[in-house]
């Protein structure tokens, strides 16, 4: 697929508003960077706390995608004046005896167009997987194991386990860019 160069994507005179269905600063920054990498027009990206409608630690693709979709839709309902709404939901899944971590991204626009993507997945260490199976959310398990506070608003599991080589912002940003493909290639979607 030939991805259009930024200069070939239609521009708009006014700033467009993007609402992220979370106040997590990493999710907001990731969204801001992704939108500015794909489009040349100006964006204002704001976070809004909305309900995901799923458990605190979604399990499997279906529940995690539902959480991302609910976040985007609930952000739309709470702030319908925006141009785009983004839902980001992290999940875990048991796969061949290992627990994997990942996230789903959903982007909606004011015309009803939908884009979605999934991040790369990675195996969690057994010590963290055991804490999650015991009822903890991944962020809390990371905090306990790595002796941190509020790591889900910082480097998260991916950052800690890669020793900062893959930041949580970069991890989400790539998937947000992939979710924006339908918006950057409007004639094909």
Pick from 115, 121, 85: which is nearest to 179 by CA?
115
The length of the chain is: 189
User: Do 189 and 180 contact (CB within 8 A), yes or no?
Assistant: no
Q: Report the binding-site residues for substrate.
A: 81-82
Q: Report the binding-site residues.
A: 81-82
d(C-alpha 13, C-alpha 101), whole Å: 40
Q: Report the binding-site residues for Mg(2+).
A: 81
Tell me how many degrees the CA angle 169-117-134 measures, rounded to the nearest 5. Answer: 70
User: Do 89 and 58 contact (CB within 8 A), yes or no?
Assistant: yes
Task: Check residue 74 and report its DSSP letter.
Answer: H
């Amino acid at each position: 697929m030939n991805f259009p160069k930024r200069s070939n994507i239609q521009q708009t005179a006014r700033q467009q508003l993007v609402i992220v269905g979370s106040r997590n600063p990493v999710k907001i920054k990731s969204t801001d960077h992704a939108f500015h990498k794909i489009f040349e027009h100006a964006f204002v990206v704001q976070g809004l706390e909305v309900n995901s409608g799923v458990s605190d630690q979604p399990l499997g693709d279906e529940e995690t995608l539902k959480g991302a979709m609910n976040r985007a839709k609930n952000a739309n309902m709470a702030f319908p004046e925006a141009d785009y709404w983004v839902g980001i939901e992290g999940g875990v899944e048991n796969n061949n005896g290992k627990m994997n971590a990942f996230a789903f991204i959903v982007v909606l626009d004011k015309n009803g167009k939908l884009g979605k993507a999934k991040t790369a997945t990675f195996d969690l260490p057994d010590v963290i997987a055991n804490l999650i199976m015991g009822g903890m959310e991944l962020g809390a398990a990371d905090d306990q194991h790595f002796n941190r506070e509020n790591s889900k608003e910082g480097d998260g599991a991916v950052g800690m386990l890669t020793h900062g080589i893959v930041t949580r912002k970069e991890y989400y940003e790539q998937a947000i860019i992939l979710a924006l493909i339908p918006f950057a290639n409007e004639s094909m979607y």
